Structure 1
């Protein structure tokens, strides 16, 4: 049997929620590493661990140019801010369990990490070509720390793009399922995701380089829709 097919078969024998928990655990481990590196920098003025995290868990032009291609994957399990981490993991825990049960383990892993790569590339392209054209770009403090303070490029990280891809895949599979907007207002899944898309598109256009990487969110939503259309063949539940 083909080694890849054999591995996929083994992965698919694992309980679906275990795969989801493993992804959450990876995110938690990297989040803990960020906290350690930040505290080491702040308390002991030792930047080594922080620079290591910037070089290996942020995706941007500088890391890509220096051959750290793995940051396409590691950036989508990377959170430095606690609020960012908690919101993404809560969303992943609630929505991911439904999606992984319907599409299977290997497809779910492909969706999560494939969307992570897609969102990183969309973010890179947007910040490289569109933000300078709009003329209001800002630059990542993480990159400034990693390259000695030069505000030349922007890097991004976080599971938001992957989470948005999972949300949009679910919305395509079950568009009339009710979401609770702000945990209060009932709204169909398709309308919720459409609203998020319009919001992030407006933010990316009118606030390029802002604190939230809206371009990555757009990439995540589109990745989820394309995954549903071509990988899942438009499957509905």
Structure 2
């Protein structure tokens, strides 16, 4: 499905892989102007070239570690110089970790919080002042953030924190007609879930009412909808994308 995102200026982080890459491709085919961000410069360049071939009006790349606050500031300057502002912010970069709470070192907790929460906070702080009225922000939670996940306490906590962050920002930027929504993917076939899928991918698919696991493109389509004028009165929503695997609201 296509959405009218022509000329919209978007920043997408984590764009070298997975859901963020699929989102970049979809927005490119809708004619958006893109700033793609990732730590992996080589894979980022591949995504950028694919987006140009898909019809993006403009594609820029910014390779950086966004746990570095200076890099986030430089990204803001880069967006200003290349796009002269912003319409869409999609901070999709994130990591997962598996460690029982009683064995979890501080370094594990800190790394996940720095990437999944602190960097997202800093991106919003830096880029929201550049965003045009009527813009859209889509943040990433997960089913783990809504329900918890044994063995992944740091990850689940980070994704629960994103919901609180997003809904707080809603009250600060709403009068500018900037909408902030959250997607909460379930088991999607990405590199992040490769280890889980290798062990029990078939079981997870069987447990899902639709009888399969999700694809990155299926999350990207929801993100594109939330970025579009079709979602003009959707604000502060948490959208589960899990095929019905978890039925709790």
- TM-score band w.r.t. shorter chain: under 0.3
TM-score, structure 2 as length reference: 0.27
Larger helix percent: 1
TM-score, structure 1 as length reference: 0.28
State the structure with more CA Rg.
1
